[in-house]
Structure 1
């Protein structure tokens, strides 16, 4: 039987990105992704930056985070957006999250917002996308949403457990 999620992809920024990468590592799921040149992240502005802790990531030619965002959407089968307000057009959405959503649309890549209460529906949506998926996880930085790392770690961990056929471990 083929696995539903083969790889978790993310850009390594603080918050949602790192929560997703760490949850995948804990579950034994491969990680990858593009990060800005120099491994830049808001808490690691000097090279090699986040590449010290996440050597699986590759640098884009540009130090601008927008290129990282575009390439991660482009190189994934689907994008899941995690955030404090999971409505598709929240006026409080972070600029990077808005960019991710817009890029997924312009690149004709399936995307979906996901929160703690709709994980099972998201797994079903993923099943309709295929198997052996590379799933890009995106959302706010920790500075934009305190608690983003913990929320992402829980949500991605639960997605990975359910996609592997396990029963939910977190009640909604």
Structure 2
């Protein structure tokens, strides 16, 4: 075995040892978290929805602000006749973001691999700080899923790969 092959195998093994596999409540879908810097801070039922939230270890930006990126999965029963376009439109209306991009699994270069999904990349401002956000809407069986990923805009380019890894890892278990 060449040194390159050995190194490649070692890198792949370390990746799979680091990735943390999770399931999406009330679905047959699973996903991976990108590394051990993410931890579950909430996994609870609230009325008719389930909320699973992860926060990342703080990242200090150039202004000296400790930024804590977060990822949330919100699931709810939508019935067996739910349509992804209508589900997504109903949720998008409630989230006032400046949409930069819309994508599906068919969009070239899209991180989405799960077919019954629509994704948005957008921005919003909170407390005079610009944020970048991925919002992915999915339907699996009778469950509607909202995936919301948030980080300040100044750190987005540097850390978007962590978000994209989660999005691209969503698949049936």
Normalization by structure 2: what TM-score?
Answer: 0.29
Higher RCO structure, 1 or 2 (CA under 8 Å, sep 6+):
1
Q: Higher helix fraction: Structure 1 or Structure 2?
A: 1
The structure whose Rg is larger is 2
Q: Higher strand fraction: Structure 1 or Structure 2?
A: 2
Normalization by structure 1: what TM-score?
Answer: 0.29
